[in-house]
Amino acid sequence: MQVIENLKVKEKVYFEKLNNGLMVMIIPKQGIQKKYMIWGINYGSNDSVFIAPKEEKETKVPNGVAHFLEHKLFEQENGSNALDTLTALGVEANAYTSNDHTAYLFECTDNFYEAMDEFMDYVQHPYFTDENVEKEKGIIEQEIMMYDDSPEWKVYINTLLAMYHNNPVKIDIAGTKDSISKIDKDILYKCYNTFYNPSNMVLVICGDFEVEKIIEEVKKRLIPNTPKGEIKRIYPKEPEEIVKEKIEQNLEVNMPLYSIGIKCESGCNVNTQAKYALNKSDEVKKHIAIDILLYLIIGKSSKLYKKLYNQGIIFMEPYLSYEFSKTYAHIIISGQSSNPDEVFLNFKQEVKEFIEKGIDKNNFERIKKMIYGAYIKEYDDVENISRMFLADYFKGINSFDYLEEIEGINVEYLEQILKDVFKEDKMVISIVKN
């Protein structure tokens, strides 16, 4: 068993890889009543073309299969629904699918081991029939239609469409009505048997546990299985340039929505050698630097935010995010504005000014301390810490690295990232308005 400790937050994470290949991560939190368990699969909506272990032929499945699988796993052969069973135990249970992983989770204060029985049972026992697959299509179609009518979702997905030519990150995680119509039980079993192998999964447990005991409880509930070998994932090549600078769509909104995107080089892009992704430590530093830069340029205390706010162009702090995985990386800045084009123009001008004049060291230190405080706060909550370690693990990152690497970020590094990442020819804007 491997133990990693961080003295800044006084936390330890215990890693144990079981004989079947499953990675188990235990994060003990003494005195905490809440208990949290999340089971992640290294399989997301982007993984629609692959070569299964011990096969030579490429498999291509319709878009939306990973999300469809997530929906279907709750349904059991005896007619029960695992989500209902867990809710009856007083447990908050859920699941989600992202571009790069799928996760099943629950949180409780009581009945943990009873919930663990049901939780570990349903994830390991898929039950797909022609009838229940067809029934699910109608449910997911309604979900797709709901998102199609959501201005917040459309302004985001259109940002991705403006940035990416071929990368599947631009495709709705749920797929389309046409793509899910092609899904059948054989496709679901193929993807389940390929990706839902313990060697492709991570289990994170956080709460007041004895490490050895909880690992034994996990082992007791695992069905016999062995590692199957490497899954070869196939992704299309993505050009460096954007698709178009602007996408505009009309939907019913009280005030226009905007989303500014900046297409970045991914550390593992199939046809790009990124300057700051030579190793995972560099990727973490790059992420921290981008977070600091976003707050400096257009965060609530920035000169640009105050200017746009006083002019009545924006009314609340924008959502700021750097999203990255193995094959994509981009920045998102989104919010509401009376004049989105003016926000975009001012943002580009502000970036130029930062590049020309440099970064004020006092502002840099202030924002750096604020972000460091936000990192520390993540460790207060069992859900935040568990989901953070799971998502970072699939990126090959140890979450503690953010606490360590932020100390080494300086103004010179920030200015270099600013020049290399915040390029005007990689910027796009998506607008949704009446």
Res. 106 pLDDT band, cuts 50 70 90? very high
Between the CA of residue 19 and those of 53, 54, 225, 369, what are the distances in Å? 18, 20, 9, 42
Domains, the chain, in order of start with CATH, read: 2-233 (3.30.830.10), 246-433 (3.30.830.10)
Query: Residue 279: its pLDDT value, please?
Result: 60
Instruction: Assign 280 a pLDDT band (cuts: 50, 70, 90).
Output: confident
The one catalytic residue in 5, 55, 58, 70 is: 70
Taking only the tens place, the pLDDT of each residue in 119-168 is: 999 999 999 999 999 999 999 999 999 999 999 999 999 999 999 999 99
What is residue 135's predicted lDDT score, i.e. its pLDDT?
94
Average pLDDT on 55-79 reads 95
Question: Does residue 397 register a pLDDT over 70?
Answer: yes
Backbone φ and ψ for 162, nearest 5 degrees, come out as -75, -25
Describe the crossing of helices 112-124 and 211-220 by its angle, rounded to 10 degrees. 40
Three-state secondary structure call for residue 398: coil
Residue 278, pLDDT > 70, answer no
Write the pLDDT tens digit of every residue in 360-380: 999 999 999 999 999 999 999
For the cut 70, the answer to whether the pLDDT of residue 414 exceeds it is yes
CA atoms within 13 A on the CB side of 324: 26
What pLDDT shows up at residue 361? Answer: 96
Share of the chain above pLDDT 70, in %: 97
70 catalytically annotated: yes
With a cut of 60, say whether residue 275 has pLDDT above it: no
Write down the mean pLDDT value for the chain. Answer: 94
How does strand 92-97 pair with strand 23-28? Answer: unpaired
- Judge whether residue 272 has pLDDT over 80: no
CB 49 within 8 A of CB 234: yes
215-271: pLDDT as tens digits: 999 999 999 999 989 999 999 999 999 999 999 999 999 999 999 999 998 744 333
Dihedral pair phi/psi, residue 425, rounded to 5°: -75, -5
With residue 324 as reference, give the H or E element that holds it: strand 319-324
Instruction: Report pLDDT for 265.
Output: 85
Predicted TM-score (pTM) of the model is: 0.93
The 10s digit of each residue's pLDDT in 187-211 is 999 999 999 999 999 999 999 999 9
Q: Are 245 and 259 in contact (CB under 8 A)?
A: no
